[in-house]
Amino acid sequence: MQFIKPDININFVGKRKIAFTLSLAMILISITSLLVHKGPKYGIDFAGGTLIQVKFDAPVKLADIKSGLATVNLGKSSVQGFGEHSDYEYLIRTDRSVMTEQGFSLEVQKALASSTGQGVDIRRVEMVGPQVGKDLREKALFAMFYALLFIAIYISGRFELKWMLSGVMAGVLMSAVYLLSIFNVSVPYLIAAALVVTLFLFWFLELKYAMGAIVALIHDVTITVGIFSLFGKEFTLPIIAALLTIIGYSLNDTIIVFDRIRENLRKHHKDPLKTIINRSVNETLSRTILTSMTTLAVVVTLFVMGGGIIHDFAFAMMIGVIIGTYSSIYVASPILLAWKVRGKK
């Protein structure tokens, strides 16, 4: 199916400087937001603590909920609305990992019913210890880092036939990261440093396709994380799943464009690289937009009708699909031109 004319010729590569400026601005805003907020806003999965979801029979005041919680040994708690306003549902969070034995829910239910004068239903109670939250944070970072490295091996092997070189490089990096993590080196800084070293090695070893793909993926994840920070949304395990899904989606788009570039390099090897890249992006544009629109339709439906539990996951996917489509056109492919400039120098 093609709703875009086959002979379309949009000068994407010619607008790469504008695109790079826009991308740089979004990345700087994302990093600034993370610095201002002192990192992402971790949910109970990563920060530890106790979460209680409650539903009332009628509207209640937040002050009445808090006064009821004061009679229960929860420590300092925060209360916020959850879902639609007409649902009368609230999330109660505390940074203390309260032992949620069998009588705990009944104790909270009685305290809230007494302070609000309304019937209350305890929907769920979750408790995560601080050490467990820390372990989950570190494993999430490792998961994303290793995913990027395995993607680099695949891209280098498929497009440049450098399976051995990329495999050895990835193996050394993974071993170094693992050994340093044993010596209690801060995992977030360790992963950030490892990514910088990885990009330098890609440049030095001339793994240009892998470089383009990985830069685009880092671009997508950074901006998605930054938007979550700007909106004050929490990072939980479902959001990590969304980020890994975004990595896979964006990579699929990038590989389609790279495949067409490789084919056109054989057919039109006398043409300038800029012309070949532009032609390839235009030839795959119809497929790229169709894939994005169908995926976005499903994700928007989840966002609107999926309910509060899946709301943030769908929001992350919406951002990821849009940014991933943009990066496969304006970030991944134009990076190949950097090697042409490097060769001339």
Residue 27: band (very low, low, confident or very high) from pLDDT cuts 50, 70, 90: very high
pLDDT, position 24: 92
342 pLDDT more than 60: no
Total-model pTM: 0.82
Is the pLDDT confidence value at 5 over 80?
A: no
CB 330 within 8 A of CB 23: yes
Mean pLDDT of 88-99: 75
Confidence at residue 317, expressed as pLDDT on a 0 to 100 scale? 92
pLDDT average, residue stretch 53-71: 82
**What pLDDT does residue 83 have?**
72
Tokens of 7: 């002979």
What is the reported pLDDT for 337?
Answer: 77
Name the fold adopted by 13-43+132-344.
Multidrug efflux transporter AcrB transmembrane fold (1.20.1640)
* Amino acid 29: pLDDT: 94
The residue with greater pLDDT, 187 or 146, is: 146
The DSSP call for residue 205 is T
8 A C-beta contact, residue 53 and residue 89: yes
Token pair in block for residue 93: 């969070």
- Inform me whether the pLDDT recorded for 8 exceeds 80: no
Fold of 49-128: Alpha-Beta Plaits (3.30.70)
Q: Would you say residue 20 has pLDDT above 60?
A: yes
Helix ranges, the chain (H): 16-36, 44-47, 62-69, 104-116, 130-160, 163-182, 187-204, 208-230, 237-267, 273-283, 285-305, 308-327, 333-344
Q: pLDDT band at residue 46, thresholds of 50, 70 and 90?
A: confident
Q: Is 92 helix (H, G, I), strand (E, B) or coil?
A: strand
Residues of the chain with CATH 1.20.1640.10: 13-43+132-344
Amino acid at 233: K
- Residue 117: phi and psi, rounded to 5, are 75, 15
| pLDDT at residue 223, as a whole number | 93
Q: What is the mean pLDDT of the chain?
A: 82
The SS3 call for residue 2 is coil
Local structure of 271: helix, strand or coil:
coil
Q: Is the pLDDT of residue 282 over 90?
A: no
Let me know: does 327 contact 220? Beta carbons within 8 Å: yes
Torsions phi, psi for 91 (to 5 deg) = -110, 130
